[in-house]
Amino acid sequence: MKTGLVVFAAASLVAGQPLKAQDQVPPVLSLEEALEIARANNPGYRQVRNDIELADWGVRQAYGTLLPSANASGGSSWQGAGEQQFGSLTLGDLGFLNQPSYYFSNYFVGLNYSLDWATIRAPSLAKADRRVTEAQIGLAGADLEANVTNAYVEALRQEEALRIAQLQLENSQFNLRLAQGQLEVGTVTAIDVGQAEVQVGRSEVAVLQSRNALETARMRILQQLGLQMGSEFELSTGFTLSLPTWNEEELRVMALGGNPNLETRRRSRESAEINVSSARSSYFPSLSISTGLSGFARQASNTDFQVAQAEARVAGSMAQCLSTNDLYSRLATPLPPLNCSQFTFTDVQRQSISDSNNQFPFGFQSSPPSVQLQMSIPIFQGLRRQRNVEAARLQRDDLVEQIREQEIALEADISIGLANVRTAYQSALLEERNRELADQQLRLARERYQLGEITFVDLVDAQTVLAQAEADQISAVFAYHDLVTTLESLIGTSLRN
């Protein structure tokens, strides 16, 4: 049964979904099975456990900062027809009239690489933070184990309380029968029978209250397991009273090495050490390299303007040629005239202008490539760096003191806890002896009552003493188990084996 539960709980962890209550709670529930179910289903613990995924991504991101970054962009725009102003001039002033509308598109692909000491230390810091998260998960697991164990022990306590209450009811019913028998032979009055009936009623109330306390304790177990109410189960793990033979020095060593809270603070101190190094990196220079490729495309809504410009240039060339020939003809020794017929605007040129205008949106013209190298050396930043370094250093020093404080507290708690466990063990033995004596006194009181030597009130007093002795014994035994659970929480491992 236990092996199948472990496999089923592991499948739930892989799927990342809580299991259904009817599939998880076995008819007989041991403490180990309860802990396995709680680790798979408890919502609070699952929330803390999920943090490890974010911590893993933090490590990946830290390594990613050591790689260059790349970005690409592109866009398009439209510019309407009309005059454009350049300072105090317009295109009309420059001789460019009847400007058409234009369509523009562009692209850019860039590569950037920056490096500084903080970036170099980022993976180490991310790993340290992940170790802190792992320690916090361990702390949450230890707290969950303590809570489940306490809930389990409380349910066992209430089972014992119910058993004692039922036993007291049986004793009260026996006393009632005894009083009724004495009334029949005339040795007592009806008052004794009435008192016995009242005692039975009180015992029935005690049983009712004990049964309700047990159901409450069982629901608290289901709450710690992260399951819905209503599951039926029986508790199978028993907690025996055993002599605490643990060595105090060994417990201290175990606590200093395994206490979850202390481990979390130690991991936080490691992260703080790296934070100090990262804060000091603000004094170091940083290096950045960037390069990129870009291009653009432009297309006019019509080519009339470009054609007019080309025709004007050809006409200007023709006029210049004719003027030169006229000048050559006036010389004393005329020079041969130039061939002005070559300056003509043809349909081929018109088509070429139209073809070259057809660029939008992907007829890009590449811009010249560029590479930029930059080194930055911080000189003065208004004491901000000094403040950050000091804050990181003080945080580290505080964690060092917290660890020392926790270690001192652990040593004291181990000594006090072990002494309390030993005292609780001795108290439980004494309460067991007291219960046996009270039981003997009750049997003796019944015999004397049958002989008429004592009143029914004395008999009830003897039963009350036994009930109190049994309650004190239960309280002492489970106080011992509570103290052992507290001691286990301090050292971070089980002591009951």
Give 88's strand partners: none
The Cα 346–Cα 124 span in angstroms is 72
Q: Measuring CA to CA, how many Å separate 280 from each of 277, 386, 390, 393?
A: 5, 8, 9, 10
Question: Contact, 491 vs 414, CB < 8 A?
Answer: yes
Q: Are 406 and 262 in contact (CB under 8 A)?
A: yes
Give 10-residue mean pLDDT values along the chain (497 residues): 36 42 71 94 95 96 93 90 66 62 90 91 94 95 94 94 93 89 83 90 94 95 90 88 91 92 94 91 90 89 81 87 86 84 84 84 86 89 88 94 95 95 95 94 90 86 90 93 93 83
Alpha-carbon distance 178 to 24, whole Å? 49
Q: Is 144 helix (H, G, I), strand (E, B) or coil?
A: helix
């058409």: which residue's tokens? 100
Q: Where are the domains of the chain?
A: 23-65+118-285+382-491, 69-115+287-376
- The pLDDT score that the predictor gives to residue 228 is 87
Q: Comparing C-alpha atoms, which of 251, 217, 233, 138 is closest to residue 487?
A: 251
pLDDT of residue 210: 94
Q: What is the pLDDT of residue 111?
A: 93
Cα 28 to Cα 34, 159, 231: the distances in Å are 10, 15, 11
423, burial (CB in 10 Å: exposed 0-12, middle 13-18, buried 19+)? middle
**Residue 147: closest CA among 5, 60, 42:** 42
What is the CB neighbour count within 10 angstroms for residue 83?
A: 11
d(CA 89, CA 93): 6
Distance from the first to the final alpha carbon of the chain:
21
> Which whole-number Å values give the CA distances from 390 to 116, 202, 274, 375, 394, in the listed order?
20, 69, 13, 26, 6
pLDDT of residue 452: 84
Q: Nearest to residue 458, comparing CAs of 446, 440, 472, 470?
A: 446
From 175, 203, 162, 166, select the one nearest 442 (Cα to Cα): 175
Quote the tokens at residue 355: 């073809």
CB count within 10 Å of CB 454 equals: 17
180 contacts: CB under 8 Å, gap ≥ 6: 193, 196
For residue 160, give the nearest of 486, 485, 490, 479 by alpha carbon.
Answer: 479
Answer for the pair 246, 495: CB distance below 8 angstroms, yes or no. yes
- In contact, 183 and 193? CB cutoff 8 Å: yes
Tokens of 346: 């043809």
Pairwise CA distance, residues 476 & 439, whole Å: 18
Radius of gyration of the chain (CA): 46
Listed residue (100, 35, 120, 113) closest to 67, CA to CA: 113
Supply the pLDDT for residue 183: 86
Element (H, E) at 370: strand 370-376
Q: State the DSSP string of 319-356.
A: HHHHHHHHHHHTSSSPPPPP-GGG----HHHHHHHHHH
What is the rounded CA–CA span in Å between residue 162 and residue 236? 17
The CB-based long-range contact list for 408-414 (8 Å cut-off, 24+ gap) reads 410/252, 410/255, 410/256, 410/259, 410/262, 410/490, 411/252, 411/255, 411/256, 413/255, 413/490, 414/248, 414/251, 414/252, 414/255, 414/487, 414/490, 414/491
The CATH number assigned to the domain with range 23-65+118-285+382-491 reads 1.20.1600.10
Answer for the pair 463, 172: CB distance below 8 angstroms, yes or no.
yes
User: What's the whole-model pTM score?
Assistant: 0.76
